[in-house]
Chains A and B, each alone.
Chain A
Amino acid sequence: MTKKGQFWLMAIVLAYLAIVTMFFYVRSVDRSAVNFFEPNLDLDFQNMISAIKTRNDWLRSGANDWYDLAWQYRRRIEVSETGSPAEIPTGVGAGKVSDCIADFRVVNLTNSEIHANVSATTAPGCNITIGVSTTPFAFYVYYGNPSASTPSYRQATPQQGTERTATMGPELEVPTRGLCTHFNDLYPRSGMQLNCSLVNVTCPTPRTQANISIQLQSTNFKFNGTVFPQSCAA
């Protein structure tokens, strides 16, 4: 090809590309072209960031009702029969707890710890053994903290009582990782997935005050870091 031929060929190709680019630029003004290839995720991302910021503030505030963020799960349980002691089922599945006696914490609805025993060491079958004199009696059982040690008030061996039925609420995940799991459930096909294994508690003591650190990866951008980091409250 002569130099003149090469020049004109290149010129035509470049002109073509310029025209196509202009066409798609103009058409993308109403986002139609953008949406054709990629759904608009702006509001989804904004929702995630906004919720994480709010959750961080909430965790730092007095409104936070999670007993201790070191415990990964909780379940609300309500019994309507008395017993002395009563053995109340918890519905904790296998694999969530390695040692129920060391791990379980039972608190009332205002987060005051209740001195309770446990009927077994390994789940399933870890029931709460406690004296129930007035009904209805509602409480939370927290579990899923492998580093917890047996509290001083608890018997080191399984304690049985009169078996009672109970109304069990759903298993809730700790608010830090729970939010992350929730987003992954909400946006399964959006291309944005959070890495929930990176959610951690950045304020060690007291653990009820925390920031959420996450990694977010989508098809067209990556976010890795702590959302709106704030200093840990004293």
Chain B
Amino acid sequence: MELNNRKGFFYFVELMIILIVISVILTHFPVVQKSNTNFQQHENLRQYGFGVMDALDDVGILSRYINTTNFGFTNFTALRAFTQASFPEPIKIQLEYILNSTTCYNQSGYMQLLGNCGLNESARQDAASVLYTFANSSDQITIKINMVNLFGGQAAR
């Protein structure tokens, strides 16, 4: 291919157009974001939530209030109080407990099927969630912590 002949010139122009088109497409990919909080804010919340649960486990709060013999007798009120108190005021939380992959307890201790757990996603798109597994038990207990930062996010455009 010679750049200084007609065929080579158009081949080169064609290549440049393709590169430009690809560039335009790539750079204009929309960032998938369904809420007013961006990914970094979501990730920060998740990291914070995991850290809080890990710390509560380390200091024995989870062991103290989770009833490993009969999970239904867990002190859900105390667990929620300790967890909420570990967050700054603007961050509101909601806890859920997944037991043995079959059952779910909400933060008030109400038992329901696993499929009925979870936030109403369309209502709370700015919520971040993270799972923390409490392993000091023969039961498999995972705490799902849903968090919303009331002062987080950015102005709508």
- Which residues of B are at the interface with A, using a C-beta cutoff of 8 A? 1-3, 8, 12, 15-16, 19, 23, 26-27, 29, 31-33, 38-40, 43, 46-47, 50, 54, 57, 68-69, 98, 100-103, 130-140, 142
Contacts and interface: CB of A to CB of B under 8 A. Distances in A.
B2 A175 contact: no
A36 B100 contact: no
B2 A2 contact: yes
A5 to B, nearest CB: 4
A61 to B, nearest CB: 9
A70 interface: no
Contact of A40 (B12, B16, B26, B43): B43
A6 to B, nearest CB: 9
Given A2-B2, A43-B47, A63 B136 contact: yes
Interface residues of A, number: 44
A200 B57 CA distance: 26
10 contacts: A1-B3, A9-B12, A19-B23, A23-B26, A30-B40, A31-B43, A47-B133, A50-B54, A183-B133, A186-B142
Nearest to A187: B131
Contacts of B27: 23
Interface in A1-53: 1-2, 5, 8-9, 12-13, 16, 19-20, 23, 30-33, 35-36, 40, 43-44, 46-48, 50-52
A183 B62 CA distance: 20
Given A1-B3, A2-B2, A16-B23, A65 B138 contact: yes
The 8 closest A-B CB pairs, nearest first, are: A185-B101, A182-B140, A51-B133, A54-B135, A55-B135, A1-B1, A30-B40, A51-B135
B47 A5 contact: no
Contacts of B137: 58
Contacts of B133: 47-48, 50-51, 179, 182-183, 186
Given A172-B100, A179-B140, A47 B132 contact: yes
Nearest to B141: A182
A71 B19 CA distance: 63
A179 B142 CA distance: 10
A74 B135 CA distance: 17
A160 interface: no
Given A36-B31, A172-B138, A175-B138, A20 B46 contact: no
A174 to B, nearest CB: 9
A5 B38 contact: no
B70 to A, nearest CB: 9
